[in-house]
Amino acid sequence: MRAPKVLSIQAAQEITTDLGRFSLYAGEGKGKSAAALGVALRSMGLGIAQRQNHKVALVRFLKGPERPYDEDLAIEALHSYYPHLIDMVRFGRSEFFGPEDILPVDHKEARRGWQVATGMILSGLYQVVVLDELSPLIDLGLLAVEEVIPILRERPSHVEIIVTGRGPHPALVEMAELFSIHTPRSGSKPIPGVHFTTGSGKGKSTSSLGQALKCVGRALDGADKRKIKIIQFLKGGKFGLYTEDAALAALREIAPDLMEHERYGREVIVFKRVPAGVDPAQGRQEVDYAFAQSGFWSALEAISSGEFQMVVMDEIFPTLDLDLIPNGASRLLAVLQAKRPDVLVHMTGRCWEGNPDSQELLQSCESHTHIEGQKHYYTCAPESRRVGVDC
């Protein structure tokens, strides 16, 4: 008899840590740039943990250096400690503009930015290159997609590319191995500072990490000196199992009283009803209830205390759907309704929207991004990154 299959977090990571992919984050919803920042943070964590030159390039178009962004100081702090792991460059005007407002300087900045990005991509010095807001740059006619595609195809095989922006060109969509659309939703009873990121697409957890990085920058700037707390549910195991562990630990070293990071769960994927052929031990166990409730109490205490500018509850929605927290949705809603308006709470995870216990909670968001997975690299042939085959 064949032994039951164990679906573990470690196995999933072994599948997804190969480099060289092309990911595309698009849509009207929030969190695209934040998701790219989260991937960059994870990549840095891999470099820190493995003591390798796992370098990230953040190329940010339409985001001129004159305008401050919350995450700037956090990135600069990481760069000061780990200059061999991250570089950031920004191009464009600092203000928003439409097609009717394009100036000669915009063409000049787009050309200069793409020349720098091309050098970074083809140099092979970077494992991850983020091309933030590249899609609107093309959409505005400041850069021809015919110039972009050959560079992406000719890049060294180990270089991973991440492109963000609302309306990607069809040629980029065709070439992408991972394509997630961020769609905005709204709650009928919004609570200030409550944000959800749900859906089947990739980018939920990384979006929350990117948002946390922005809050770290705010704290370092003195705009809000309160702490940031990241609580990850259904993500247990030893330190270093997740690539962001080392990067978050580095941030805690840079600002010891600023960042708190907690993970709760077993080192396996937990099922409410175990599929055929999967180890029965991956069904809900008493320890899963204990882990979930410990993390839940920690989150509620942090939200109620007012000592934190942001509390991230990563994978809280599947935890609620697994019924690991008795009356969890109603208890969480009561705490959210009573919290200070300036306490940000970011909750993530796939969400069973038919769950009657979560209906009122789902209406409490001030903003809600639903990420739809249009493409996934599990189903893309490796040669697609070279020839642009639709997958």
Is 4 part of a structural domain of the chain? no
| Residue 194 domain flag | yes
pLDDT in the model for residue 100: 87
User: How do 194-198 and 344-348 pair as beta strands?
Assistant: parallel
Q: What is the largest CA-CA distance in the chain?
A: 71
Asked if 248 and 112 sit in the same domain, the reply is: no
Q: In the numeric block, which tokens belong to residue 133?
A: 């807001």
Angle of helix 286-305 relative to helix 328-338, nearest 10 degrees? 10
| CA pair distance 26, 164, nearest whole angstrom | 6
Report the distance separating Cα 381 and Cα 390, nearest Å. Answer: 9
> Does 286 reside within a domain?
yes
Do 292 and 328 fall into the same domain? yes
Contact 259, 311 (CB under 8 A): no
Residue 324 backbone dihedrals phi, psi, to 5 degrees? -85, -10
Instruction: Tell whether 8 is covered by a domain.
Output: no
User: Is the domain of 243 the same as that of 363?
Assistant: yes
Helix axes of 104-123 and 145-154: crossing angle, nearest 10 degrees: 10
Domain annotation covers residue 6: no
104 and 196 belong to one structural domain: no
* Whether residues 240 and 111 fall in one domain: no
CB of 93 within 8 A of CB of 105?
Answer: yes
Residues 22 and 171 in one domain: yes
Tokens for 68, please give them. Answer: 């401050």
What separation, in Å, do the N-terminal and C-terminal C-alpha atoms of the chain show?
A: 36
Which position has the token pair 């503009």? 97
d(CA 279, CA 266): 14
How far out from the chain centre does Cα 230 lie? 13
pLDDT score for 365:
94
Range of the domain at 100: 18-181+374-387
* 91 and 111 together in one domain: yes
How many structural domains does the chain have? 2
Of the candidates 191, 196, 185, 182, which has an alpha carbon nearest to the alpha carbon of residue 315? 196
pLDDT of residue 381: 47
The verdict on residue 10 lying in a domain is no
Residues 326 and 195 in one domain: yes
**Could you read off the pLDDT tens digit of each residue along the chain, which spans 391 residues?**
455 666 655 544 444 444 578 999 999 999 999 999 888 888 888 888 776 677 899 999 998 777 788 888 888 888 888 888 899 999 998 778 888 889 999 999 999 999 999 999 999 999 999 999 999 999 999 999 999 999 999 999 999 999 999 999 999 999 999 999 999 998 999 999 999 999 988 889 999 999 998 999 989 888 899 999 999 999 998 887 888 888 888 888 878 888 999 999 999 999 999 999 999 999 999 999 999 999 999 999 999 999 999 999 999 999 999 999 999 999 999 999 999 999 999 999 998 888 888 889 999 999 999 999 877 666 654 444 433 333 3
CA pair distance 1, 244, nearest whole angstrom:
38
Between CA 179 and CA 311 the distance in angstroms is 28
**Tell me, what's the pLDDT at 110?**
94
Q: Write down the pLDDT at residue 52.
A: 66
For the entire predicted model, the pTM comes to 0.89
Same domain, yes or no: 163 and 222: no
Do 287 and 271 sit in the same domain of this protein?
yes
CATH number of the domain where residue 242 is located: 3.40.50.300
**Cβ–Cβ under 8 Å, residues 131 and 25:** no
How many Cβ atoms from other residues are within 10 Å of residue 175's Cβ?
A: 26
Task: For residues 140 and 191, state if they share a domain.
Answer: no
Is 1 part of any domain? Answer: no
In a domain, 3, yes or no: no
Q: Indicate whether 149 and 297 sit together in one domain.
A: no
